[in-house]
Amino acid sequence: METPILNTSDFHLLPETTYCLACSEDGLYLSIGFSEGLSLWSASSFKCVAQWSRDSLEITSIQITKLSENTYLLGTIDDMGVARIFMFCTEMIHLLSIINKMEDINSRSICCSFQASQGGDYGVASVRCNGDVWLEVLYFPKESWLKEVESAVPQKQDSNSSLVSEVQWSPVAVINKIKPITCASDNVYKFPSQFFSHCLALDEKTCSPTRTCTAHFLLPISGEQKEKTGLPNAICMWWSGSKNLLQYSLQKTTKNKADTQSLPGALWPNANKIVCSAVSGCTRYIALGLTETVVCVWDRNSGSPVSVSSMSDTNSAFSRIHFMDYCPMSPDDSQSCSDDKLHLLAMCKCGAMYTVIMGRGTKSHMLQLAERVKDSGDLPTVATAVPFLQGLALVIQRNGKMCLQNIINKRNVCSLILPPKHVLATPRSPGFALNSRHRTLLVQD
């Protein structure tokens, strides 16, 4: 059966040196990072509504999240590894804070990754300086920022200046500074101190001195205190080369100090090293891709694995893993994801892709979607879940080909075709965004 072809419905001119783009969760705006700053575009009319510029500044990573009605928080990283936080309100972009502002060029810190929680209450930044790396957990004073922006807008409207330099924005608070732990003697929730110390000691023997870290925000689950609806209360994270998944609380206390090394509240040990991870929409389940092509899904409610599965037919390492089940963030219903059957999409570095179907007390099933490719041009560079299309994955290959694939029945639903004489701008690292509101794929050519 011939695969249907879906052509682009329209195309619009973006800044010539666009490096990254992201869509707001409500689907109203598209944020774009380019060679001299960032801009916000209407997702319906594709007109630029606001722009922030700075000479010789290249925004290489951008994220947008909604703070309140008509107000959005933007987080960026530039080509020098500097992370910034902006606010968009009433067709203006305000620079609120620089996360790793350079005070001394000899001890310049590099922000490797930065993300804000949905709703803009917290942020996490992976920072490297002089060979040392740590994860900063940040608290954003968004209520103060919203009030300060209200006073800043009349100042801007009453002047001819394009910047509001008089505003002193409330500072970002660092509530935790997490570094790789080599030993621990205190008791940790759910784990005896000796077992906890043993796991960390094993990590120290196998981890590289130049570690990186990956973090995910977690919502409250059954039995946990809920401060506000939709507000995360923890993060889970792991260090490269580590076998352990760690959980840290986001609750602010009088003991929170940026220079104090705190212990995690929970630790989930694994037999193999972690290479990639994903969290379900309700954040109850955490999927880990491990070395030797092992997949493990942890259930935060029980503190135990739902299932562990091994792909014995390939010796290629994992590169990405995704939850394919549509499971909306619902802090009031920790059961919104059922562990009767969970669908995962796992990608290997060799180009092979698998569907992993697992559930508690049932045998895991694996279906190979794509075999190991001979031509590097056919190698998928992106394979990700489409949140508004149940069970479908977007696959973008290095040769620029794009398709939607049903991971359940292993069928290509349709091929996505660009207009004539148009090609993907950077097929090895494509710029794209999925808009759930308009149910569209936005891709940079």
pLDDT tens track for 265-282 = 888 999 899 999 999 988
Q: What is the pLDDT confidence band of residue 334, given thresholds at 50, 70 and 90?
A: very low
Structure confidence at residue 73 (pLDDT): 96
Q: What is the pLDDT of residues 389-434, one digit of tens each?
A: 888 888 888 888 888 888 877 788 898 888 887 877 776 677 888 8
Q: From start to end of 240-379, where are the E strands?
A: 244-249, 266-269, 274-279, 285-290, 294-299, 304-310, 318-323, 342-348, 353-358, 365-370
Q: What is the mean pLDDT of residues 103-117?
A: 84
pTM for this model (two decimals): 0.86
pLDDT value of residue 268: 92
Domain layout of the chain by residue ranges: 13-178, 180-372, 373-445
pLDDT range class, residue 179, cuts 50, 70, 90:
confident
Residue 333 has pLDDT above 50, yes or no: no
Q: What is the pLDDT of residue 137?
A: 95
C-alpha distances in angstroms, 153 versus 28, 45, 148, 158, 193?
21, 25, 9, 9, 53
Tens-digit pLDDT profile for residues 350-394: 878 888 888 766 666 666 776 666 666 667 778 888 888 888 888
State the chain's mean pLDDT as an integer: 81
DSSP 351-395: S-EEEEEE-TTS--EEEEEEPPPSSGGGSEEEEEE-TTSTTEEEE
Q: At CA 346, angle to CA 344 and CA 351, rounded to 5?
A: 150
pLDDT value for 52: 94
Place 219 in a pLDDT band, splitting at 50, 70 and 90.
very high
pLDDT for residue 421: 79
Helices (H), 84-212: 142-157, 193-206
| pLDDT for 12 | 75
Quickly name the fold that domain 13-178 has: Methylamine Dehydrogenase; Chain H (2.130.10)
Sign of CA dihedral 406, 412, 413, 418: positive
Average pLDDT over residues 55-74: 92
Tell me: pLDDT of 293 over 90: no
Q: Does the pLDDT value for residue 8 go beyond 50? A: yes
pLDDT at site 65: 95
| Residues ≥6 apart with Cβ < 8 Å to 1 | none
% of residues, the chain, pLDDT over 90 = 34
